[in-house]
Amino acid sequence: MDLSRQYAETLDAQDPIGHYRARFYIPDTELVYFDGNSLGRLPLATRERLREAIDREWGHDLIRGWDTWIDLARSVGDLLAASVLHVSPGEVVLSDSTSVNLYKLAAAALDARPGRRVIVTDDDNFPTDRYVLEGLAATYDLELRVVAADIDEGVDPDRVAAALDDDVALVCLSHVAYRSCAIADMVAITTAAHRVGALTLWDLCHSAGSVRVPLREAGADLAVGCTYKYLNAGPGAPAFLFVREDLQRELGQPIWGWFGRRDQFAMAPGYVPADSIDRFLVGTPPVLGGYAALEGARITAEAGIDALAEKGARLTQYAIRLQQEWLGTSLALASPADPARRGSHVAFRAPEAWQICQALKAAGVIPDFRTPERLRIGLAPLYTRFVDVHEGMTRLRDVVESGTYARYPAQLGRVT
Ligand SMILES: *Cc1c(COP(=O)(O)O)cnc(C)c1O
């Protein structure tokens, strides 16, 4: 392979979605940002939209703003449904955080399968998912059946299938694994879950905006995901939830808030759930975060998931090639080698990963460290260029070859 920077520049020149980078606020051009899978960059349109929302809508319109704000969660949901998740309007809504949505939908699923006592997940699922499910199992005295997953290759559908029986109410997994980026076989797992009469709940945090999500092909029941990663909606932006249309009236959620009630503004006595996805809402939605999610969804929709997924695969493949050429003896690939089996980030393993991560940050490259011994590199396809990969991997090689990382503490910090 051509290892020159010129080659990376050629790849950028031929990139059909390369021009989207200019739509982002990038004040520090020396910084190599490999963390768009944790917090996406700020779109220029969002900066404008939020300024306007603050000055004109909040500042001037005040409470009158609710005439338009009230529909925001649904409009963003519909946009995500059409362009990011490929499901129908009315099946997705913006609401709360991923953790809270996971709780609401998992509880709704358990309620819809009375008498069944088992929740299935995997031991490498994202921490909040494992904790939320653990809490539900403790509250309702259920069994949390935890399937062992390979931390680099992801969850094996046969192992999940082997854990299923008629006592299983819910199977809850991540579609793209947060550490290795391995894609779970949503179709096979959902089919197996349905065969025993269980419902499926998918966490799409690392999928939404980076890969095609086969909710429809799989016949998946429920899903949640955040908007601040590949959807670029900013820190703490509201999450989304998906409930398949034919399940909406069958499922009830545990938090009976006024935004989930039919005829909310009748302020009537007693809770009657809305006849739509609105029943999964709880309270007053975050409007500023909602606008940021709207702009983030718009730019993602415009670029198109297929183009984003293809570029993500090429970027990660390019990073892996450079790692093999330059760092093959010091770092090992800790993600699936087949690009069709990964999303838009890639993990490398080294015993000194935490120290390398700190040294890399000091060298102006922002990756993530993840236990155990993983350096995670997020290559968000909307604004990451091939030259960024070349530059970041060059600095990584320098840090590793020079041994400067050894100066950094081996002890983990509070935030990694
Ligand atoms: C980022 C992430 C979350 C985050 O949940 P929050 O409620 O927003 O903190 C959940 N699940 C997965 C798989 C994630 O990657």
Burial class (CB in 10 A: 0-12, 13-18, 19+), 167: middle
Q: Which residues pair with 181 in a beta bridge?
A: none
**Cβ of residue 98 lying under 6 Å from some atom of ligand 1:** yes
The predicted model gives 268-296 an average pLDDT of: 97
For position 413, what pLDDT does the model report? 78
Q: How far apart are CA 377 and CA 382, in angstroms?
A: 15
What does the pLDDT look like over 45-54, one tens digit per residue? 999 999 999 9
For position 414, what pLDDT does the model report? 79
Residues of the chain with CATH 3.90.1150.10: 5-30+304-407
For position 247, what pLDDT does the model report? 98
Q: Which of 205, 232, 368, 416 to mutate to test the pocket of ligand 1 (most atoms within 8 A of CB)?
A: 205
Q: Return the structure tokens found at 163.
A: 């854990």
**Cβ of residue 231 lying under 6 Å from some atom of ligand 1:** no
Q: How far apart are CA 300 and CA 282, in angstroms?
A: 27
Mean pLDDT for the chain overall: 97
For position 127, what pLDDT does the model report? 97
**Cβ of residue 244 lying under 6 Å from some atom of ligand 1:** no
Ligand 1 atom at shortest distance from the alpha carbon of 226: 8
Residue 89 has pLDDT above 80, yes or no: yes
Q: Among 123-127, 222-226, 283-287, 412-416, name the one with the lowest average pLDDT.
A: 412-416
Which residue, among 257, 110, 250, 260, has the nearest Cα to 171 in the 3D structure?
110
What does the pLDDT look like over 130-180, one tens digit per residue? 999 999 999 999 999 999 999 999 999 999 999 999 999 999 999 999 999
CATH superfamily of 5-30+304-407: Aspartate Aminotransferase, domain 1 (3.90.1150.10)
pTM for this model (two decimals): 0.98
Q: Which of 178, 180, 416 to mutate to test the pocket of ligand 1 (most atoms within 8 A of CB)?
A: 178
Which residue, among 188, 191, 226, has the nearest Cα to 210 in the 3D structure?
226
For position 1, what pLDDT does the model report? 83
Residue ID of nearest Cα to ligand 1 atom 2:
205
Residues of the chain with CATH 3.40.640.10: 48-302
CATH fold of 48-302: Aspartate Aminotransferase; domain 2 (3.40.640)
**Cβ of residue 99 lying under 6 Å from some atom of ligand 1:** yes
Q: How far apart are CA 215 and CA 192, in angstroms?
A: 15
**Cβ of residue 174 lying under 6 Å from some atom of ligand 1:** yes
Residue-level length of the chain: 416
Q: Which of 132, 226, 416 to mutate to test the pocket of ligand 1 (most atoms within 8 A of CB)?
A: 226
Query: Are the C-beta atoms of residues 118 and 143 closer than 8 Å to each other?
Result: yes
What does the pLDDT look like over 358-384, one tens digit per residue? 999 999 999 999 999 999 999 999 999
